[in-house]
Amino acid sequence: MDIESYTDKIQSFVNIGNFHAAVNIAISGLNECRRNNDQLCINKFLSIISGISLKMAHEFGSKEYLDKGEGPEICCFMCGATEDEAKLLAGAGGAICAKCAKDAYKHFSG
């Protein structure tokens, strides 16, 4: 699976605020992983979908909603880079930067 092509497409839609398209592409990637019985890949796409949801909360949530802890600061859960510091991809616990996502996928898929 070419996970980079999926994450690049997802990120491009997240960047322009088209979260519907981003989620649809992530679900397509998840389904491809399921067909290939690739659990690590499935987990990656579940994290991406979760991260898109967090990004939406961060972008659209009210102050009251965010103050309840429903919308944490978006940052890479591996290296801690923030949106200002790195290109972030949606992921569990906030997001994952593109570099960490590629490194993790290479490490675990090899």
Residue 72 has pLDDT above 60, yes or no: no
**pLDDT for 28:** 95
For residue 70, the number of C-alpha atoms closer than 13 Å in the C-beta half-sphere is 13
pTM, rounded to two decimals: 0.62
**pLDDT for 24:** 96
Mean pLDDT for the chain overall: 79
* Residues 96/7, Cβ–Cβ less than 8 Å: no
Q: Which tokens is 11 given?
A: 């990120």
**pLDDT for 19:** 94
pLDDT tens, position by position, 80-109: 666 666 676 665 445 777 777 777 767 666
Angstrom distance (rounded) from CA 69 to CA 47: 18
* Residues 23/11, Cβ–Cβ less than 8 Å: no
More confident residue, 106 or 16: 16
In the chain, domain spans = 3-109
More confident residue, 20 or 97: 20
